[in-house]
A and B are shown apart, each in its own frame.
Chain A
Amino acid sequence: MSSQHRRPFTRSRRIFAATAAVAVAGMLAACSGGTGEVNEDYGFAIAEQVEGSPITIWADATRQPAVEAFQAAHPDIEVDLVIDDGSASGSATFQTKIALADQAGEGWPDVVFSTQNNDASWASKEANGVQAFAAPLNKGYFDEDFLDGFTSGALDPLTVDDTVWGLRNDLAPVLFWYNQQLMDEFGYEVPTTWEEYEALGERLATEHPGYFLGSVGDSFVGPYVYYWAGAAPIFQVDGNTFSSDVNAPNSVRVTEMLDTMVANGSLIQDSVFSAEFVAKSANLLAIPGPAWYAGALFQNPDSVNAAEGQWGTAEPLYWEGDEKVTGNVGGGTWFASSHSQNLEAVKTFLEYIVSDPEVAGTGGLPAYQSAADTWVADQASSGFFSGDFETSINTAASSVWSGWGFPNFSAETSYSKIVVPALAAGQSIADVADAWQTEMENEATVVGYTVQ
């Protein structure tokens, strides 16, 4: 018995030694790939440039027509488009795939589109000895004149220590949308403050039960539409310090308003993208939400599918006596890869995609000022929305509250983990507010922030 076992054991030891050697070789290969010398023209260490080499673009399906428009306009540049989910809902597709490419030391795309503004703080950092994926754009790569063409503040979420790491695709300021027909029918005034909004909810619940003023069923709505727009300091960053205060006066005001409106039924818990929400949309009286609700909800046959002139826009709601600020729900970002072998083609593409009036914004409010002017004028002249569309959207775009932070994790995950299930189970946000704050602080600690 023992003699039979000796040989295989020796053999297995040999196999083990051989596999260990291969493993070590693999590890050494994976560990290589440090940063090179900084190129003076670009302001970062560039890869060897190969003129005419194809560029690989990762973007979601919504961006596909814009990329195809670029291909038609620039047939000299070979484009390989890879469709993914744009890292929507915090899926972190971008991080996942880049982390693998970093480990492999190859396979990076040339351009990436992400729906997450806070990806910049991640993509701008060197990881595991591999240089940051995102290329710095204002250190010589892009002209200052071009970068200055963005709407004021549009590049703020993508700027870390005065370095711009990405280009904003569109802006998503929160404004107020209302059903003009229903407002007239019920004899209601469009609210201008959060206090009036809450009062309208109570009145609506009493006089027209079943009708509602929005939803808290999406993880982006709570943090970005209500807390950000309510200037509640629940997600703030100062350098490497993260802070969250669910007990600050404005945080408590938002929490109480939401709890009251959920309790009286004027706020529902269905996702705005769900079939249930669409089924109830005839009872939607008004809703605070981002600029992209224009296409995503109201001009979408699969959603609210509003008739021309049925819906109107108003300026963002604010607290009475407080600064007139609003929130922001995303607004996609384009990143150039610092590993690209054709940086000039990448630059041509990015300049086109964010500033060409035909494609910029890819359906939403473009972040590039000249394209935004064209988009707003077109929307206003179409007359689809009643109210002063141009003023509403311009006011919203210029009044996004700057107190919100952009750390390298999302505000959505803690809200969906703690608050959404609690609401569904019949609890109030006040019941779980402290647990929510703890979850955010824990998340911040895990990714390396100091919690204040």
Chain B
Amino acid sequence: MSTNTPLAAAPLTERQPAGVRRGRAGSTTRAQAVTGYFFVSGYTLFLVFFGILPALYAVFLAFTKQGAFVGVDNFARVFADYRFLPAVAHVAAYVAIWLVALLLFVVLLALIVHAIRVRWLSNASRFIFYIPGALAGAASVMLWLFVLDPTVSPVSFLLRALGSESLVTTVQLDSLPIVLAIIAFWTGAGGWIVIMYGALNNISTDVMEAARIDGSGPISTAWYIQIPLLRKWISYMAILSLAAGTQLFVEPRVLSQATRGVVPQDYSLNQLAFLYAFRQNDFNGSAAISLVLLVVALGLSVFFVFRGGLFERD
């Protein structure tokens, strides 16, 4: 992209007289700028009012109590809460399982779908993968409630074979990170497979052909050519999924209500923040948890950005 632009502009520069060139180029830039500002204005407005302002308000709340500065008191209170560390462990276990599964299987499935030469089968596969993602979070959990309950599940034989006789036994705390990871993978992976498929299509046919001529098989091509070239996309997926994963809320919340509290209401950090704000009227503690989440997610995202070379230009 960066190499194409000057090449395209170069002949134009030579054809136009200098004055005209500068004037047209200047006015075009201003018009483009105005259009650009117009297009981003809506996003910026929403970002300010529903992203930046609430975040600033959370920073204010996290370091104050009744409007007075209290230093790190709110953080200390939250860290000392008996529910905090288990919630951290739950989210960490879930994110670890889900993220690894997502990275592995999305890339693998995208490579397989990309390798399918039968057009209708390739199209059908992508469509089938994508369909579950069309269900919104809460709706997909409602669907999974039926799948996970051996008394009504279409795969009850499988659940019973795994030793589960009721919904309560299926969603025992030990197995919950896996259950939640399966739900999240099922709803989210399809979209990423389609994106990865697009990225694979972007790999130059010259490169692929050269690999083939050099005697590279599908596996070595995937390992030495395709996956390295997908590195940025994989990082991108990891960052966005990480942000979503640490915000775990809807799935355990719905499961909690469906199981009448067997899945605890303080399972995830976001749920704990919710309880602080709305059960204990402690918005300061809630803001402290939110800030911790923000810092952790930002830290891990920065790691992926630099490891994945997301900001590097080719």
Asked whether A240 is an interface residue with its Cβ less than 8 Å from the other chain, the reply is: no
Contacts of B280 in A (CB 8 A): 446-447
User: Which residue, of A89, A127, A276, A421, has the highest number of chain B Cβ atoms within 10 A?
Assistant: A421
Contacts of A193 in B (CB 8 A): none
Asked whether B278 is an interface residue with its Cβ less than 8 Å from the other chain, the reply is: yes
CA distance A412 to B261 in the complex (A): 8
Residues of A414-452 contacting chain B, CB below 8 A: 415-417, 420-421, 424-425, 442, 445-447
CA distance A145 to B121 in the complex (A): 79
Chain B interface size band reads 20 to 34
Contact of B262 among A24, A91, A95, A417 (CB under 8 A): A417
CA distance A275 to B149 in the complex (A): 12
CA distance A269 to B169 in the complex (A): 11
Contacts of A412 in B (CB 8 A): 260-261
Q: How far is the CB of A232 from chain B (nearest CB, A)?
A: 20
Asked whether A27 is an interface residue with its Cβ less than 8 Å from the other chain, the reply is: yes
CA distance A116 to B83 in the complex (A): 23
Contacts of B283 in A (CB 8 A): 99, 103, 128
**One of A15-23, A198-206, A331-339, A344-352 contacting the partner:** A15-23
CA distance A413 to B279 in the complex (A): 13
Asked whether B168 is an interface residue with its Cβ less than 8 Å from the other chain, the reply is: yes
B169–A89 CB distance below 8 A: no
**One of B51-59, B101-109, B179-187 contacting the partner:** B51-59
Smallest Cβ-Cβ distance to B61: which chain A residue: A27
B260–A424 CB distance below 8 A: no
- Interface secondary structure of B, over-half rule: loop
Chain A interface size band reads 35 or more
Contacts of B152 in A (CB 8 A): 275
Q: How far is the CB of B276 from chain A (nearest CB, A)?
A: 9
A91–B66 CB distance below 8 A: no
Asked whether A31 is an interface residue with its Cβ less than 8 Å from the other chain, the reply is: yes
Contact of A129 among B66, B82, B166 (CB under 8 A): B66
14 A-B residue contacts at CB 8 Å? A23-B60, A92-B278, A95-B281, A99-B277, A99-B281, A129-B66, A218-B260, A219-B260, A269-B166, A276-B151, A276-B166, A409-B279, A412-B260, A425-B172
Residues of A within 8 A of B (CB): 15, 19-20, 22-24, 26-27, 31, 89-92, 95-96, 99-100, 102-103, 127-129, 218-219, 269-271, 275-276, 409, 412-413, 415-417, 420-421, 424-425, 442, 445-447
Sample of 15 further A-B pairs with CB below 8 A, known A103-B283, A424-B169? A19-B52, A22-B53, A26-B53, A91-B257, A219-B261, A269-B168, A412-B261, A413-B264, A416-B259, A417-B262, A417-B264, A424-B262, A425-B169, A442-B82, A445-B82
The 6 closest A-B pairs by CB, nearest first: A416-B261, A127-B281, A96-B278, A424-B168, A23-B56, A417-B264
